[in-house]
Amino acid sequence: MISTGSIAEIQDLISEFKSEGKKIGFVPTMGALHQGHLSLVATAKEKVDIIVCSIYVNPTQFNNPDDLKKYPRNIEADKDLLEKNGCNILFLPSDEVMYAGRNTITFEFGDLDNVMEGQFRPGHFSGVALIVSKLFNIVLPDFAFFGQKDLQQLTIIKKLVEELFFNLEIVTVPIKRETHGLAMSSRNERLSKTEREEAKIFYNALLEAKSIIKEYHSANKAKEKVKSLFEDHIANLEYFEIVSDKDLLPKTENYLATDTVLCIAGFIGNVRLIDNLYVNDIN
């Protein structure tokens, strides 16, 4: 695996591979890698010849400075994992490389970034869109791989690719879960053993809501059930929504359609967790 923090160097490497007719797959990450990230790499191996991964903790997508400061960083362990799992090129840029000078560009996505995460994390998706645009322009991949766990981010990135005519295909990879159902996340590292066990309430709530939607076709019943599960629990529910994956707007009918997804977010202690589940998911 070749590792570099230089834009010129990574572009030279990728240009050489492309001249040989190689297909390029890109897996952008913020590090603190887990099996969810590695599932992106594994999916990429099935579709492309050369896998490029990046590790960069992007400051412009953190609306909470304390969250940025506490975000886990395990660069050496991450590099070892990526090399063992088939990454060919690792891009490790610095803030000086990615933000040479003051950033003045912002993005807006209408309703897509005003609901759910956007409501509680103002400016977050503008920062995501900015760094993803930069990375896409640097790597120029044929395919880019993203996890379903960050569903709103995924929807916005698809819109970004469509609106800015990026010549690449976005590939969605299903959520990887721990044994008791907790969606894998780098933030899970900040949970204590007790908190990690208690955090399964988020997935259990999604399963309960899914069952109610399928039986009663009622968003209100599902929301009432989820709210009741969090009463007197150490976890704090921030939101639970039933939306279409096409526009992230609340569903008011056709709850059993293939686009219906249940989205949830909340806190265990100081750690914020998100998850989602399609009503038609076989799990």
Closest of 124, 120, 155 to residue 240, by C-alpha: 120
Q: Is the pLDDT of residue 64 over 90?
A: no
Residue 229 lies in a domain: yes
The pLDDT-based confidence of 135 (bands split at 50, 70, 90) is very high
Residue 37 lies in a domain: yes
119 plus 86 within the same structural domain = yes
- Tell me: the pLDDT tens digits for 203-252? 999 999 999 999 999 999 999 999 999 999 999 999 999 999 999 999 99
Known binder of ligand: residue 233?
Answer: no
Side-by-side strand order, sheet with 235-244: 235-244, 260-268, 271-278
Known binder of ligand: residue 67?
Answer: no
Residue 178 lies in a domain: no
Known binder of ligand: residue 187?
Answer: yes
231: CATH: 3.30.1300.10
59 plus 138 within the same structural domain = yes
Known binder of ligand: residue 149?
Answer: yes
What is the domain range of residue 227? 186-277
Provide the percentage of residues in the chain whose pLDDT is more than 70: 100
Known binder of ligand: residue 35?
Answer: yes
Residue 109 lies in a domain: yes
13: CATH: 3.40.50.620
- Tell me: the pLDDT tens digits for 81-121? 999 999 999 999 999 999 987 778 999 999 899 999 999 99
Cβ atoms 146, 171 nearer than 8 A:
yes
Residue 179 lies in a domain: no
47 plus 118 within the same structural domain = yes
Q: Is the pLDDT of residue 27 over 70?
A: yes
pTM value? 0.95
Q: Which of 173, 197, 232 is the last residue of a domain?
A: 173
214 plus 259 within the same structural domain = yes
191 plus 157 within the same structural domain = no
Known binder of ligand: residue 33?
Answer: yes
pLDDT (0 to 100) of residue 63: 84
143 plus 17 within the same structural domain = yes
Q: Which of 173, 198, 227 is the last residue of a domain?
A: 173
Q: Which of 147, 173, 199 is the last residue of a domain?
A: 173
- Determine whether 37 is an active site residue: yes
Residue 282 lies in a domain: no
Would you state the structure tokens that stand for residue 52, as one six-digit string?
Answer: 């490029």
Residue 224 lies in a domain: yes
> How many separate domains does the chain show?
2
94 plus 159 within the same structural domain = yes
52/26 Cα distance (integer angstroms)? 5
pLDDT (0 to 100) of residue 283: 62
- Residue range 31-54: average pLDDT? 97
C-alpha distances out from residue 52 to 4, 23, 43, 160, 220, Å: 11, 11, 13, 20, 44
159 plus 68 within the same structural domain = yes
> Which of these is catalytic: 37, 124, 217, 233?
37
